[in-house]
Structure 1
């Protein structure tokens, strides 16, 4: 299936990064349950909630600070280097696809990234090192010169996706002849929208995920197995 595809779009979820030490949301005992992200509306409304959001973010960052691209990320990067991959669309905020990718590879990060922060007012980028230093030493929340609220560049619950990023994901879904899902349950919208959009536009659909997904019956190929074990031989 991969061998005769001309344009492949790869869609990834948390399952591709778990072997790298990045916890997923749904596993029993997941640290995300102890450090659940603060809802966007609460973050905007209450400085105390913003402080708690930063505390939880830094706690989670420490858990996977040493994470490096795994076998799945490296396999996708090899496909891209061979000219097979049109784009990688990911739900993950860990930046591991970018770490494995070549300079010209298109990585569409639907939920943003956790590696820096941005002002919600002017859009300026803010680095996490100074933010964390001031927060942990003085309890100070990050400030932007424009007076806007500064937040991690990842998308919070209740926060709208970037329309430009969303459009890139739609285009990648429509321009492929093979859509490959790796490590996503396809339960969170708009996650399920993209493989279905590709399939309805004539692309074949392949899914590799440990658990069943709602689109398994519609797929041309379904593999319920470890992603690294599955992709390494390809």
Structure 2
């Protein structure tokens, strides 16, 4: 592992345009369980029953009670972990230009990253179904479920349910930066959820080096990733940033 981190640091230190693609794995150490995989939320509840837009429109009270209320309680307490702050460090060094995230927790922005493309929206905000007013999730009163806007409309998370389209601008910009980067960091994602999973392929096809940081191998590991760094993001990323900073200090 140490040798792989040193090799990745050599590449990162010379990079002109680095992009990070992040998934649920980067936020697990912030106390946010993943949706998929072992121990994931979808093992406990049926996403088609509670996380599909049709389910919300048909019975918002149940979806709020089973899914959204519990997500709010978890995310209200979540704070950035060393993996998030390491990406901020890479941005401060002038290496990381953009973060593409599949997460809805908003922790990249809380940590300090400036250019974050959110594939699935942001749970930090609730949007009124009737008047389109946006309200901070932290300010939503759960005394009555589902919570309502001041206009009387029902609030919904400002993120994507199953059955809804990825925001076209998020998809377009992600494809653009993936094609432009010379290094892509793939962090904490199963690389199985489309269309986000295509971004490492776009990067690789355009000549980028793909550095993968995941606790276990993924479909990318033996086919797309140039440097697979197997381990938890909160441990591997700080080591990688430290190695990059050593090279910057020595130059």
TM-score category (smaller protein):
0.7 to 0.9
Residue of structure 2 aligned with 1:12, choices 1, 22, 26? 22
Contact 2:126–2:136 (8 Å) recurs in 1: yes
- Cα offsets for 1:130-163 (capped at 9, x unmatched): 6434xx33x4553585x87642111111111111
1:52 aligns with 2:62: yes
Q: TM-score, normalised by structure 1?
A: 0.87
Residue of structure 2 aligned with 1:96, choices 96, 104, 107? 107
**Whole-angstrom CA distance in 2 between matches of 1:140 and 1:157:** 19
Number of equivalenced pairs:
225
For residue 83 of structure 2, what is the aligned residue in structure 1? 72
Residue of structure 2 aligned with 1:42, choices 43, 46, 55? 55
- Cα offsets for 1:8-65 (capped at 9, x unmatched): 0000001111111011123544455445542112223x1xx21112222111221342
RMSD (Å) for aligned C-alpha atoms: 2.2
Relative to 1, partners in 2 of residues 1:207 and 1:129: Cα closer, same or farther, differing over 3 Å? closer
Q: CA deviation at 1:121?
A: 6.3
Contact 2:146–2:155 (8 Å) recurs in 1: no
Q: TM-score, normalised by structure 2?
A: 0.81
Contact 2:22–2:101 (8 Å) recurs in 1: yes
The runs of 5 or more residues in structure 1 that have no matched partner are none
The runs of 5 or more residues in structure 2 that have no matched partner are 1-10, 241-251
For residue 108 of structure 1, what is the aligned residue in structure 2? 117
**Whole-angstrom CA distance in 1 between matches of 2:195 and 2:41:** 24
Q: CA deviation at 1:109?
A: 0.9
- Cα offsets for 1:112-141 (capped at 9, x unmatched): 1111112456643134356434xx33x455
Q: Which has the higher helix share?
A: 2
For residue 168 of structure 1, what is the aligned residue in structure 2? 173
